[in-house]
Structures are given as structure tokens and as C-alpha cells.
């Protein structure tokens, strides 16, 4: 027991040193509560064209199928909040895409944390995950006591907010497990009321097919005409349900240099965006999460905003 506590404390201290906002640990086991929710969400086809959400159903709910012998799930949060703003009237980009692609930034940090565990504890088997496998990030972060899943379905941390990335590491190592926290949404419905496309169909229920983030990033087809004039000028992602969340008044500027805003994103005028060429796109967004839409996707979104 003393060893478990010692290892857990050491891992959390190293995660903090690496710049993570928070670190929590939970037991690797089948997600009993999430299983029926995920099944009904998929049956209602609220995943839209995200077919991958239907794949590996069992692995998505049981981390021991991803890491044989897995005993612990270590969840980490990394702040990306920026108080910088794009020029008024320009196509809007979600804050998380202002700087370098978070996948690479977080994966490097998790590799360092894994290396630390090997040095301090010994031979430990496991894997790190940054949107790279069927892992239910928010569910594990909630189980690890890092926050609660709010009415907008984002993980929210008391007196911190929700502008952070979630990633995890699954290990075949017994550790000391944290307890979940309580829900602090109360009677607030700010996110539900503010969603431009009414994607939050009920508290804690998101219809991804109506979500602007899904429409501008995940959907590869033409954007449905029903959303014309409803996109609130978002060209990549959407921050509305976070911007209006009262807990995000506690958000603080991130301290990760790689997340510093690219000047092109913050300085581009509406005309610059509308005249964006594929060559310019490839130059500006080479190491950006925005590259995920590809030039054609971003151009499609910008043209749609003008209609």
C-alpha cells in the first residue's frame, strides 16, 4: 500500500513538472455506466458519419483489451486556453487550434512521463493515448477525479473550467486510485441555451450531427443547408458552449510555448481567409490541428459561411 501511494505521488509530481494541469488515476476496469449510454447514443445515430465510433465497442469500454494486464489508467489534462482574439468578423477558429497540433505536444510529454516511470519504478508495460485509440477520455478523467462531465458533455474542472486537452496512459501497474468528484453544473443551462445549432438536445446529451465542431471537422460531405446562417461564423471547431460556461471565467492563459498563437491565425483578415490558397494553407497549417480538415474542407467551411 505504501509503495502504491509512493508511486502514485511520484507520477503526479512528474506530470506537474512536465506542465500538465492535473493528473488523476483510476482502476482499469469495464465502464459499466458508460456502456448503455454509448450503445443508445450509437443506436440513435448521433455519431453521424463518425463510423469509427462504432468500431471496437468492447475495447472502448474496457482498457484491459487495449493493454493486456492493464491495472491503472492515468489521466492528464493540459491547458490550452488563450485570451487572444481573432479580428472581429473573420471566420472563427477554435482556441485549441491557435498553435501547434496538440497530438504531438502531448504525446512527447507522455513519452517523457513513461520514461520517468521506467526509471523510477522499473519495467512497466503500457501505452500512451492522445486521440489515437478507442479510449473514452472524458469518462476516465471523470473517474480519476479530474472533473465532472457537464451538460455540454465536456469535462469541467472546479475553478479551472474546460479549456484543456485530455490524454491517458494505461499501465499494468497497481496504483492508488482517486475518487470521482461531484457535478457542479447545478441548474445552469447556459451551454444549452447558447448552442447556435441546438446540438445539446438535453442536459448531458449531444447530437454530434448538429454540432459545429463535427460539421466543420468530421463531416467530409457538403454541409447541410439547414445549418446556413446558424454556424455563428465558425470555420474550424466551435467554442460557444465553453465560452458561456460560468466555470470558464476561471480560465488562465496556458504556459505551453508550442500552443502560442500563430500570427497568421490572429492577424488574418476576412479577405485573407476568403482568398486562402492551397499553397498558403499547407505553409501555415503544416503542424496545426487545422490540417485535419485539409484545404478543401476549410475552404468549404469558409464558402458556406458566406451563403
pLDDT in tens, 107-152: 999 999 999 999 999 999 999 999 877 788 999 999 999 999 999 9
The single residue listed with the C-alpha cell 489521466 is 75
Nearest one of 20, 107, 83, 130 to 261, comparing CA atoms: 83
pLDDT band at 198 (very low <50, low <70, confident <90, very high): very high
225-245 pLDDT, tens per residue? 999 999 999 999 999 999 999
Q: State yes or no: pLDDT of 187 exceeds 70.
A: yes
Q: Which residues are catalytic?
A: 131
38-87 pLDDT, tens per residue? 777 667 667 666 665 656 677 788 999 999 999 999 999 999 999 999 99
Which three cell numbers, joined as nine digits, stand for 18? 512536465
CA quadruple 96, 98, 101, 105: dihedral sign: negative
Give the 3-state DSSP-derived string for the chain, with helices as H, strands as E and coil as C.
CHHHHHHHHHHHHHHHHCCCCEEEEEECCCCCCHHHHHHHHHHCCCCCCCHHHHCCHHHHHCHHHCCCCCCEEEEEEEECCCCCCCCCCCCEECHHHCCCCHHHHHHHHHHHHHHHHHHHHCCCCEEEECCCCCCCHHHHHHHCCCCEECCCCCEEECCCECCEEEEEEEECCCCCCCCCCCCCCCCCCHHHHHCCCCCEEECCEECHHHCHHHHHHHCCCCCCHHHCCCCCCEEECCCHHHHCCHHHHHCCCCCCHHHCCCHHHHHCCHHHHHCCCHHHHHHHCCCCHHHHHHHHHHHHHHHHHHC
pLDDT at 41: 66
Q: State yes or no: pLDDT of 21 exceeds 90.
A: yes
**What is the C-alpha separation between 235 and 188, in angstroms, rounded?**
28
pLDDT band at 264 (very low <50, low <70, confident <90, very high): confident
pTM: 0.93
Q: State yes or no: pLDDT of 196 exceeds 70.
A: yes
Q: Rg (Cα) of the chain, in Å, rounded?
A: 20
Portion of the chain with pLDDT greater than 70, in percent: 94
283-301 pLDDT, tens per residue? 999 899 999 999 999 999 9
Q: What are phi and psi of 73, to 5 degrees?
A: -115, 120
Amino acid at each position: 500500500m505504501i509503495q502504491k501511494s509512493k508511486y502514485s505521488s511520484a507520477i503526479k509530481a512528474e506530470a506537474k513538472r512536465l506542465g500538465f494541469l492535473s493528473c488523476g488515476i483510476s482502476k482499469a476496469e469495464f465502464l459499466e455506466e458508460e456502456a448503455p449510454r454509448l450503445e443508445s447514443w450509437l443506436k440513435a445515430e448521433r455519431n453521424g458519419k463518425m463510423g469509427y465510433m462504432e468500431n471496437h465497442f468492447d475495447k472502448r469500454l474496457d482498457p484491459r483489451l487495449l493493454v493486456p494486464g492493464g491495472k491503472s489508467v492515468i489521466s492528464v489534462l493540459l491547458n490550452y486556453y488563450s485570451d487572444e482574439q481573432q479580428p472581429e468578423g473573420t471566420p472563427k477558429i477554435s482556441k485549441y487550434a491557435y498553435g501547434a497540433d496538440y497530438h504531438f505536444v502531448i504525446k512527447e510529454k507522455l513519452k517523457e512521463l513513461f520514461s520517468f516511470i521506467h526509471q523510477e519504478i522499473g519495467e512497466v508495460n503500457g501505452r500512451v493515448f492522445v486521440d489515437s485509440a478507442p479510449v473514452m477520455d472524458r469518462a476516465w478523467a471523470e473517474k480519476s477525479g479530474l472533473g465532472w462531465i457537464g451538460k455540454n458533455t465536456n469535462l469541467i474542472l472546479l475553478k479551472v473550467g474546460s479549456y484543456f486537452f485530455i490524454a491517458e496512459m494505461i499501465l499494468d501497474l497497481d496504483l492508488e486510485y482517486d475518487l470521482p468528484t461531484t457535478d457542479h453544473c447545478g441548474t445552469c443551462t447556459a451551454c444549452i441555451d447558447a448552442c447556435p445549432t441546438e446540438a445539446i438536445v438535453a442536459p448531458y446529451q449531444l447530437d454530434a450531427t448538429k454540432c459545429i465542431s463535427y460539421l466543420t471537422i468530421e463531416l467530409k460531405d457538403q454541409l447541410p443547408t439547414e445549418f446556413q446562417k446558424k454556424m455563428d461564423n465558425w470555420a474550424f471547431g466551435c467554442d460557444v458552449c465553453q465560452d458561456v460556461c460560468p466555470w470558464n471565467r476561471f480560465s488562465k492563459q496556458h504556459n505551453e510555448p508550442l500552443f502560442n498563437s500563430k500570427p497568421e491565425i490572429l492577424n488574418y483578415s476576412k479577405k485573407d481567409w476568403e482568398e486562402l490558397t492551397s499553397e498558403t494553407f499547407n505553409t501555415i497549417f503544416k503542424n496545426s490541428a487545422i490540417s485535419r480538415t485539409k484545404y478543401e474542407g476549410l475552404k468549404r467551411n469558409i464558402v458556406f459561411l458566406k451563403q
